[in-house]
Amino acid sequence: DKNIEINEDVLPKLELFNVDPSKIVDIIGQAGKTIKEIIEKFEVSIDLDREKGEVKIAGGAKKNVDAAKDYIISITSKENSRSFGKKPFKHDKERVKPTFNIGDEFVGSVKSVVDFGVFIELKDGVDGLLHISKIKSPLNVGDQVKVCVSEQKGNKISLSLVE
């Protein structure tokens, strides 16, 4: 009788686990910065499923894969972890999904100007995006603009100019 010993350290390692799907953006980070740092630091590859919240980490060394998993779990379990681009609501206890109807019109104030358009405050601190392709003349922070809701996906609100 011989016992077969497996040296886990030399085998490629694969870890599969789930996180809250809303935390996937925290793993990716702004413009993919966080996930790139994890991949480089731990020498692993990472696959993410945004819908299911599934995380798959593969790497040549077990200790690197385990360390990457621990790191990702620490990112996603922070109480105060905040997704990029989403500012806290005034009463941040529970984030209420804004409900707008397609075609709702507002006169809003330009909150910020970005490469791809402008963010306009609609009501109750909720911002919508007026995409650059829909802007005819330059807008500046503070400008008042008449817009209508053209699309809403979750907390993202797309706007169009009202002539």
Beta bridge partners of 44: 59
Looking at residue 98, its pLDDT comes to 67
Looking at residue 92, its pLDDT comes to 42
- 100: in domain: no
- 64: in domain: yes
Q: Give the CA radius of gyration of the chain.
A: 22
- 86: in domain: no
State the residue range of the domain holding 119: 105-161
Contact 59, 38 (CB under 8 A): no
Q: How many domains does the chain have?
A: 2
47: domain CATH number is 3.30.1370.10
For the chain, which residues score pLDDT lower than 50?
80-94
- 91: in domain: no
- 88: in domain: no
Same domain, 54 and 113: no
Cα dihedral: 22, 26, 31, 36 (round 10): -130
Give residue-wise pLDDT tens across range 37-84.
Answer: 999 999 999 999 999 999 999 998 888 999 999 999 988 886 544 444
Looking at residue 17, its pLDDT comes to 94
